[in-house]
């Protein structure tokens, strides 16, 4: 089941993709797709719907983040051995965790707005994991039972803020618009093996990242189990699981960073594609 939200900011409607790729209007069934609807029993009710009985959305317009009420936005750093190598650091012995601000979250094609004085904005295609059940000290063998679904995630970063501004990654990771999610939330039953998904990212038509989740150092199940030992995970919490090699910071002979006018395209097998245009600082693009 592919769930989504569409429409202008503040006026989003819930939707579902049918088997032919048509967006169906869910607003007569639920007022919105929220974290509370990610619980297994709620998703089971939606799954029983006959999508062909729902109205077709003829003009989708903006594709919004796929659910409202995203809670914690937890990210994993250096989770692909080849990405750690290109960053010039040893592969971690335990997952590296940091948080993005919830205000970073945008839809899959919303504009990326560079923060003021940004000089080293970078890209990272990642598998996003959406929690559907409260998880606390869960075992690795049971961890995937707590997943509502998966999304494409772009963990944008301002590398100068992240690495050269006095410590802590969060200040370079949590900038406004630095957390595009979607286009859909694909429920876990459609992704039987999250460790065999191709990821890719292009900037201005040039392919920079190509990878597969099988090369993660720590699997999705390991990450959920590990994170749940440090904080309770609630429905709607989002985990961005790390990026394969090919980030701008690591390009040779010199790094390549994002500039106004650049266009990003990225995607993951079965989870859809994102496309974003990069803009200079403009509050109007953030606070419609």
At residue 288, the pLDDT reads 57
Cα distance from N-terminal residue to C-terminal residue, the chain: 30
Among left, alpha and beta (phi > 0; psi -120 to 50; other), residue 10 is left
Pairing verdict, β 105-106 and 179-180: parallel
pLDDT of res. 198: 98
Beta carbons within 8 Å of 45's beta carbon, 6+ residues apart: none
User: Which tokens is 90 given?
Assistant: 């040893």
Length of the chain, in residues = 288
CA dist 236 and 220 (Å) reads 16
Blockwise average pLDDT, block size 10, the chain, 288 residues = 96 95 95 96 95 94 96 95 82 94 96 95 98 98 98 96 84 95 98 97 98 96 98 98 95 96 98 97 81
- Position 163 scores a pLDDT of 86
Q: Of 13, 15, 3, 203, nearest to 112 (Cα)?
A: 203
In angstroms, the CA 279 to CA 282 distance is 8
Spell out the residues 6+ positions from residue 35 whose beta carbon is closer than 8 angstroms to its own.
Answer: 67, 68, 69, 70, 71, 234, 235, 236
Q: Determine the Cα–Cα distance for residues 104 and 174; give it in Å rounded to an integer.
A: 6
The distance of Cα 35 from the centroid of its chain, to the nearest Å, equals: 15
Domain boundaries, the chain: 69-285
For residue 271, CA distances in Å to 53, 160, 223 come to 24, 31, 20
> In this structure, what token pair is assigned to residue 193?
């093996």
Looking up tokens 């939606």, which residue turns up?
46
Which CATH code, of 1.10.3720.10, 3.30.365.10, 3.90.850.10, 3.40.50.1820, is assigned to 69-285? 3.90.850.10
Spatial strand order of the sheet with 112-113 comes to 112-113, 272-279, 263-268, 198-203, 206-212
**Two tokens at 62?**
């903006």
Enter the pTM of the model.
0.96
Helix/strand/coil for 100: strand
Q: Which two tokens stand for residue 165?
A: 């501004």
């Amino acid at each position: 089941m592919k769930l989504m939200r569409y429409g202008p900011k503040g006026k989003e409607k819930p939707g579902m993709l049918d088997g032919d790729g048509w967006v169906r209007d869910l607003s007569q069934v639920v007022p919105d797709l929220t974290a509370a609807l990610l619980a297994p029993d709620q998703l089971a009710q939606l799954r029983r719907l006959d999508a062909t009985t729902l109205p077709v959305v003829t003009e989708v317009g903006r594709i919004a983040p796929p659910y409202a009420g995203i809670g914690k936005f937890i990210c994993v750093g250096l989770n692909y051995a080849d990405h750690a190598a290109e960053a010039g650091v040893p592969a971690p012995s335990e997952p590296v965790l940091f948080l993005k601000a919830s205000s970073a979250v945008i839809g899959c094609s919303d504009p990326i707005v560079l923060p003021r004085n940004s000089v080293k904005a970078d890209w990272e295609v990642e598998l996003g994991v959406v929690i559907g059940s409260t998880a606390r000290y869960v075992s690795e063998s049971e961890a995937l039972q707590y997943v509502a679904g998966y999304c494409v995630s772009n963990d944008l970063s301002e590398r100068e803020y992240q690495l050269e501004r006095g410590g802590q990654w969060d200040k370079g990771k949590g900038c406004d618009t630095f957390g595009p999610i979607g286009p859909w939330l694909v429920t876990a039953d459609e992704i039987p093996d999250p460790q065999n998904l191709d990821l890719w990212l292009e900037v201005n038509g040039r392919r920079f990242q190509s990878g597969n989740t099988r090369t993660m150092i720590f699997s999705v199940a390991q990450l959920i189990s590990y994170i749940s030992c440090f904080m309770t995970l609630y429905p709607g919490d989002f985990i961005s699981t790390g990026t394969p090699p090919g980030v701008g910071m690591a390009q040779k002979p010199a790094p390549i960073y994002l500039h106004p006018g650049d266009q990003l395209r990225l995607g993951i097998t079965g989870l859809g594609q994102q496309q974003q245009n990069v803009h200079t600082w403009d509050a109007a693009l953030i606070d419609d």
